[in-house]
Amino acid sequence: MKRFLVSIFLGTLMSLSLLTPLTAQAENGVIQLAAQERFISLDQAVARVRRQIDGEVISAKTRYVNDRPIHYVKVYDRGRVRTIRVDARSGRIM
């Protein structure tokens, strides 16, 4: 009986230790947002911009504006640099 109780205690302790990293990761805005709703990745946003605009992608990054993720994709197009914004939630080019 004592061995049984010890194994239950150790099993519970191990499962709690496995949950701790997930809880810490959930504080990250991107992971938390992914758990709440679907959104497009930065790579998907770059692919959408490439299909829409005939230019060379220079850089891409994600920023939060009013707690809303927006992908910014810089494109060299017709002799000038343009910054295209893509709504990460809807995938719409803004």
Three-state DSSP at 93 gives strand
> 70-89, pLDDT tens digit by residue?
999 999 999 999 999 999 99
pLDDT band at 4 (very low <50, low <70, confident <90, very high): low
pTM surpassing 0.85? no
Averaged confidence pLDDT in the chain: 78
48 with 67: CB under 8 angstroms?
A: no
pLDDT of residue 79: 93
pLDDT of residue 36: 55
51 with 86: CB under 8 angstroms?
A: no
**More confidently predicted of 57 and 18:** 57
